[in-house]
Amino acid sequence: MGPATGRRDHGLPAGAAPTPGSRVLLGFGAGPLRITAPCLVTWTMDDPDHAGFAYGTVRGHPECGEEAFVLDRTAAGTWFTISAFSRPAAWYARLGAPVTRLVQRRILSTYMASLNT
Full-model pTM: 0.76
Q: Which amino acid is at 92?
A: Y
| Residue ranges covered by each domain of the chain | 7-115
Positions of E strands within the chain: 7-10, 23-28, 35-47, 50-57, 63-74, 77-88
Model confidence at 40, in pLDDT bands (50, 70, 90)?
very high
Instruction: Give residue-wise pLDDT tens across range 85-107.
Output: 999 999 988 888 888 788 888 88
Query: What span, in angstroms and rounded, lies between the C-alpha atoms of 49 and 42?
Result: 20
